[in-house]
Amino acid sequence: MKHILFLCTSNSCRSQMAEGWAKHLLGDKLQVSSAGADPTKVNPRAIEVMAEVGIDISAQHSKSVADFREAGVDRVFTLCGDAHEKCPIWPGAATIQHQGFDDPPALAKGEQSVADELPHYRRVRDEIGAWIKRLEKELNAHA
């Protein structure tokens, strides 16, 4: 089974949402993981907005990119510029592709309430979901 890995700086939001979407849509066809260059913890707003679309990522946790260096990853997707700069190459035959998305916590910074923050998370969630659905079609075409 092919293994895909989503990378972001802290593995707290964008890469966690991508992992959730991919497991939901592709989990029976691929091994799916996410990691970060400087992992922290899963963002509670990411958990909340993913639950709104019926995808539970509450059991996911932040992982280090170092945990996957020897894991036989076939394809790596960097989701932010920082992760793309820190992981320009990957051991083995992995293909690296950059697909950048805005950072919801940065967009939500300065908002006055959680209700004002959530639209930023929802927009990025939906953009990632649409991208994963296109990726699903691409991977199915190559299967």
Active site amino acids: 8, 80, 87
* Secondary structure string (H, E, C) spanning 61-81: CCCEHHHHCCCCCCEEEECCH
Length of the chain: 143
Contacts of 60 (CB under 8 A, 6+ apart): 16, 19, 20, 34, 42
Task: Give the Cα-Cα-Cα angle 13, 15, 18 (nearest 5 degrees).
Answer: 105
